[in-house]
Amino acid sequence: MKTLNTMNKTSKNNFITYGIVLAIFIFCAVYIETDMATFLFKGLMVPICVNVILAVSLNLTVGILGELSLGHAGFMCVGAFAGSFFSMMTQETLTSVWIRFPLAFIIGGLSAAFIGLLVGIPVLRLRGDYLAIVTLAFCEIIKNIMNNLYIAKDINGLHFAIGVGAYNEIEFDAASKQVLINGAMGITGTPNDSNYFWGFALIFITLIVILNLVNSRTGRAIMSIRDNRIAAESVGINITKHKLIAFVISAFFAGVAGVLYSHNLSSVIATKFDYNYSILVLVFVVLGGIGSMRGSVIAAIILTALPEFLRDIGNLSDYRMLIYAILLIAMMLINNNDYLHQMTQGVLGKFRLGKKSKKNEQEGVS
Amino acid sequence: MSVMLETKNLGISFGGLKAVDGLSLSIEKGQLYGLIGPNGAGKTTAFNLLTGVYKPTMGNFFLDGEKLTGMSTIEINKKGVARTFQNIRLFKQMSVLDNVKVGLHNNFEYTAAEGIFRLPRHAKVEKQMNEKAIELLDVFGLAGEKDRLSSNLPYGKQRKLEIARALATSPKLLLLDEPAAGMNPQETQELMDTIRFVRDHFDMTILLIEHDMKLVAGICEEVTVLNFGTVLAQGETSSVLQNPEVVKAYLGD
Amino acid sequence: MTFLSYLISGISLGSVYALIALGYTMVYGIAKMLNFAHGDVIMIGGFVVFTAVSSMNTSAPIAIVCGIIACVVLGVAIEKIAYKPLRNATPLAVLITAIGVSYFLQNLALIIFGSAAKNFPDILKLEDLQLAEGLTVTGEAVVTILITIVIMIVLTLFINYTKIGTAMQAVSEDRGAAQLMGVNVNTTISITFAIGSALAAVASVLLCASYPLLSPYTGAMPGIKAFTAAVFGGIGSIPGAMIGGILLGVIENLSKAYISTELSDAIVFGVLIIVLIVKPTGILGKKMNEKV
């Protein structure tokens, strides 16, 4: 207790977040290892972890940097394909999953971070709506290219092609031909390395990295840009550099989530990573509370698990997205309307997951 | 005494409008200097020129003998010019302490990776930053409120916090844009004491824009009066304020 | 000659983009927000016309009028319910709300009409036109271009020579000042949404005439591309939206024809990104300075 008292409020808050995740992990571990868990429950573990990592990493861009990225699924896509590709290439040589899988995460994350850097350098000069639409455009480009990417290997080495026409023109050595990435059919045969253990380990790493970043010199600089760009510049904060740091780290973890995702399925196709997936992650972030990592974790868990468990009750899942949409709008209206906010404050106050997003006055100076 | 800030024929025009036209002034080290004039005279625009928000279309300005014309806001801040804003621009969702620590950003060094992985330098530098920040907050009587959200501070304290944040960048020249705006007479009196204290304690050169003539007369040694972008009068405060041209500009014909 | 026919069909596609882009650009100019749901208003318009024709057997003109009315009502309702309470909120909050509205409309359509694409009835059935030896264009393309030209002219006259049009320009220039001059800002914004939505309804009919498949996601891609067109031309600028839309349609069609069908979307969005890097304000956009 003494250590808790000497810690400041933010570290205390962070440890509560870690504690919650740890508690959930222990519960799941016990539940699964004692064979009490249903097939559905076990199957949900990895998708939940994927979504938690996505939500926390998107919250870095939306809540901490204060910019809306609609391309999160695109970075996830890059990570998923890069990680899967690596695992398939090294499956025979690197037989130990303890080496291969972490390497796949690093490669998937770095690939996504690299694309994030390429995207970020030009687009982070833009603000607000433009940034949102350009990240969306990039996500579509990535999806479009991945959907037409063919990689196959034969005795002569690797062959790349974009578009089925170009692919068909390649002359393969038929006997040794092995298709790795098959255009719209995606990538098939990734080793199923993902499980809840890896998933929770990655959630912890994501949370530690992002929470530590936020509570550091760099994190303060990033938040100062969010709160007031002009004032941040006036005290010498390098806007572009800090925006890029946040954006690239966010992309990195989206890539990591992609690797976790792709190693949980027998085949992965590019069209899964569409704009709707990006929006779904945004829903987690907004409903959990913009800027609140703990909120993102809880919202991602609940909103991923709940619809699956409610599947038996009527055709509720049909209405799931509709309900999300309504919640999204309602949340924004309530948070930004003083009267509604006060009305709901009393009811929701005790259960609030995150901080409310403050209005940011943008007046000019004459 | 050496000259801290010198502007030579500084000006900017937007389209055809000359918002600031041929501003020349010279502020000595340690001086408290006022920039006054009616609304729309170009005072804040002058501040924006001196902080690199706008690039001047004519003239030059020098800080401590070094030419700063054409540099970016960030470079100019690093050279030693810090400012406050007329409509307070705090980092509203951050604590009082963190606001000042953002100001300290460039005076302390550890990398993003050192922060993320909590390497030894992180703890060491953070401790130094905290001490320095609290020292600064103490000057303005804000140390007790370090953990409050900056936007929850009362107005007068927000103005003080902005000054503390500017000082955190360890400037040579401090630009205050209407520091007393919205304050009652008693708060203004306190502010005057604070500004004097800042000048003496930090050995600071201060240029301020102000409409409150009592404050200007009370603390500024010299003033420049701007009107329609041009210099109307310049010199020792008491004599300039009695200049009939200046009185006319303020009160109208 | 084939190049010319690709060009003409590109202009036709671009005209549709231009009509949609007008909705984005007018709303952006006046309400300073990206109405993300605009593309989905098009989709709803398409479904209204579809239902009127195929389930209620109404004639094409009446169905189109129904579509326009439905879109106008929907557009204004969205503005009143979702956007108006956020006039003073952060741009991020407004954008997320707009995305929520878009998501809502898509999923509503999904529940009502199902995810399977519907065949849009031939309400604009026209014969192909042979312009020259070996140069044939579809009648739909010609009608699309003609209708767009008429709408552009009417809209330009409306903006410049009517009281409401002038009010719209005033609000776009400076909302506060316009309000002080007695312009009813809320009404002006509502009218802007109404006009934008009406154009969206027209665009939906023209779009479905050329690409007769209708699904809840029909509006999303043209919507995003039209926004791209609006940015391309310079957001907030009405002539910019027209030029941007047509250019984008031509680029898309020509890249489909000569570079790659599969990668045409990537090329179109690549154009957006290049434009924003080289000239962030678009072809005809004004430089926006933030006051300090």
Quick one: tokens of B211?
A: 């409409």
The pLDDT tens digits for B55-64 are 999 999 999 9
Q: What is the mean pLDDT of residues A216-220?
A: 96
In the predicted model, is pLDDT for residue C43 greater than 90?
A: yes
User: In terms of pLDDT, which residue wins out, A316 or C122?
Assistant: C122
Percent of chain A with pLDDT strictly greater than 90: 54
Q: CB contact, 8 Å: B19 with chain A? A: no
Query: Is C292's Cβ below 8 Å from some Cβ in B?
Result: yes
Determine the residue among B72, B105, B106, B226 to mutate to test chain A binding: the one whose Cβ has the most chain A Cβ atoms within 10 Å: B105
Residue B6 forms beta bridges with which residues? B26, B62
Residues of C in contact with A336 (CB under 8 A): 85-86, 88-90, 93
List, as ranges, residues 154-213 from B with C-beta within 8 Å of A: 165-166, 168-169, 177
Three-class DSSP category at C42:
helix
- The reported pLDDT for the residue numbered B82 is 97
Q: What is the pLDDT of residue C291?
A: 58
For B148, the closest chain A residue by CA position comes to A9
Q: What torsion, rounded to 10 degrees, do the Cα atoms B177, B178, B183, B189 define? A: 100
Determine which of A280, A336, A356 to mutate to test the interface with C (most C C-beta atoms within 10 Å): A336
Beta bridge partners of B27: B5
How many CB atoms sit inside 10 A of residue B240's CB? 22
Residue ranges in chain B modelled with pLDDT below 70: 1, 251-253
* Nearest chain C residue (CA) to B53: C292
Residue B82 burial (C-beta neighbours within 10 Å; 0-12, 13-18, 19+):
buried
Share of chain C above pLDDT 90, in %: 48
- Out of B89, B93, B114, whose CB is closest to A231? B89
Cα–Cα dist A95/A104, whole Å: 13
A103 within a domain of the structure (yes/no): yes
Separation in Å, CA of C161 to nearest CA in chain A = 31
- Give yes or no for residue A351 having a pLDDT over 50: no
DSSP chain B: --EEEEEEEEEEEETTEEEEEEEEEEEETT-EEEEE-STTSSHHHHHHHHTTSS--SEEEEEETTEE-TT--HHHHHHHTEEE--SS----TTSBHHHHHHHHTGGGS---HHHHHTT-HHHHHHHHHHHHHHHHHHHHTT-GGGTTSBGGGS-HHHHHHHHHHHHHHT--SEEEEESTTTT--HHHHHHHHHHHHHHHHHHT-EEEEE-S-HHHHHHH-SEEEEEETTEEEEEEEHHHHHH-HHHHHHHH--
Q: Which three-class secondary structure state does DSSP give residue A178?
A: strand
* A163: its two tokens: 């578009």
Kindly state the average pLDDT of the residues C69-77: 96
Contact A218 B112 (CB under 8 A): yes
Measure CB to CB from residue A365 to each of C91, C96, C291 and give the nearest one: C291
CATH of the domain at C238: 1.10.3470
A239-263 confidence digits (pLDDT tens):
999 999 999 999 999 999 999 999 9
CA–CA distance, C215 with C218 (Å, rounded to integer): 5
Q: What are the chain C neighbours of A147 within 8 Å (beta carbons)?
A: 262
Domain around A15: 2-147+186-351
Of B20-29, C99-108, C217-226, minimum mean pLDDT range: C217-226
> Is A97 inside a domain boundary?
yes
**Number of domains present in the structure of chain A:** 1
pLDDT at A312: 66
Dihedral, CA atoms, A53, A57, A59, A63, nearest 10 degrees?
A: 160
Would you place residue A350 in the very low, low, confident or very high pLDDT band (cuts 50, 70, 90)? very low
Could C100 and A163 be called an inter-chain contact, meaning their C-beta atoms sit closer than 8 Å? no
Instruction: Identify the sign of the CA torsion A274, A279, A280, A282.
Output: positive
Q: Is B92 on the interface with A (CB under 8 A)?
A: yes
pLDDT, position B249: 80
Q: What is the pLDDT, as a whole number, of residue C11? A: 94
pLDDT band at C196 (very low <50, low <70, confident <90, very high): very high
Q: Is residue C221 part of a domain?
A: yes
**Per-residue confidence at C194, pLDDT binned at 50, 70, 90?**
very high
3-class secondary structure for B70-109? Answer: CCCHHHHHHHCEEECCCCCCCCCCCEHHHHHHHHCHHHCC
Domain-located, residue A153: no
Residue in chain A lying closest to B40 (CA): A366
Touching B (3+ Cβ pairs <8 A), the chains are A, C
Sequence letter at residue C16: V
Predicted pLDDT at B99? 97
For chain B, give the mean pLDDT.
Answer: 92
CA angle B210, B211, B217 (to 5 degrees): 75
How many beta-carbon pairs below 8 A join chains A and B? 114
A110: domain CATH number is 1.10.3470
| Dihedral sign of CA atoms B28, B30, B31, B36 in order | positive
Shortest CA gap A98–chain B (Å): 22
C76 vs A362, which has greater pLDDT?
A: C76
Across A259-276, average pLDDT? 92
What one-letter code names the amino acid at A45? M
- Count of domains in chain C? 1
What is the identity of the amino acid at C193?
Answer: F
| Domain boundaries, given as residue ranges, for chain B | 1-80+171-253, 95-168
Half-sphere exposure of C166 (CA within 13 A, CB side): 6
**pLDDT, tens digit, for every residue of A152-175?**
888 888 888 888 888 888 888 888
Looking at residue A365, its pLDDT comes to: 30
| Residue in A2, A164, A132 with CA at minimum distance from that of residue A66 | A132
CA angle, residues C217, C222, C225, in degrees to nearest 5: 130
Chain B residue whose CA is closest to C290: B53
Neighbours of B156 (CB within 10 A): 17
Q: Is C119 helix (H, G, I), strand (E, B) or coil?
A: strand
- The answer to whether residue A171 sits within a structural domain is no
In a domain, C287, yes or no: no
Query: pLDDT at position C292, please?
Result: 59
* Alpha-carbon torsion (A156, A158, A162, A167), positive or negative: positive
Annotate C171-218 with DSSP letters as a single string. Answer: HHH-HHHHHHTT--HHHHHHHHHHHHHHHHHHHHHHHHHHS-EE-TTT
User: What pLDDT does B95 receive?
Assistant: 95
Residues with Cβ within 8 Å of residue A334, at least 6 apart in sequence:
A340, A341, A344
Q: Which residues contact A31 (CB under 8 A, 6 or more apart)?
A: A37, A41
Q: Is residue C283 part of a domain?
A: no
Report which residue type is found at C235.
Answer: I
Tell me whether residues A228 and B115 touch, CB distance under 8 A.
Answer: no
Answer positive or negative: Cα dihedral of C164, C165, C168, C170.
negative
Nearest to B105 among A231, A236, A355 (CB): A236
Helix (H, G, I), strand (E, B) or coil at A44: helix
Rg (CA), chain B: 19
For chain C, give the mean pLDDT: 88
The mean pLDDT of C145-158, rounded to a whole number, is: 92
Question: Does residue A180 form part of some domain?
Answer: no
| Fold topology of B1-80+171-253 | Rossmann fold (3.40.50)
Q: pLDDT band at A81, cuts 50/70/90? A: very high
Per-residue CA distances from C276 to A1, A124, A240, C124, C234 (Å): 54, 11, 16, 37, 10
C287 confidence band (pLDDT: 50, 70, 90): low
The overall average pLDDT reported for chain A is 86
Q: Is the pLDDT reported for residue A1 higher than 70?
A: no
Q: Count Cβ atoms within 10 A of the Cβ of residue A312 and give its class: 0-12 exposed, 13-18 middle, 19 or more buried.
A: exposed
Please give the structure tokens belonging to residue B113: 């990776």
Three-state DSSP string of A308-347:
HHCCCCCCHHHHHHHHHHHHHHHHHHHHCCHHHHHHHHHH
**Closest CA relative to residue A138, chosen from C253, B152, C273:** C273
Domain contains C291: no
> What is the rounded radius of gyration, in angstroms, for the C-alpha atoms of chain C?
19
Q: What per-residue confidence (pLDDT) applies to B70?
A: 92
How big is the B-C interface in CB pairs under 8 Å?
Answer: 4
**Predicted local distance difference test score (pLDDT) of residue B224:** 95
CA dist C203 and A82 (Å) reads: 40
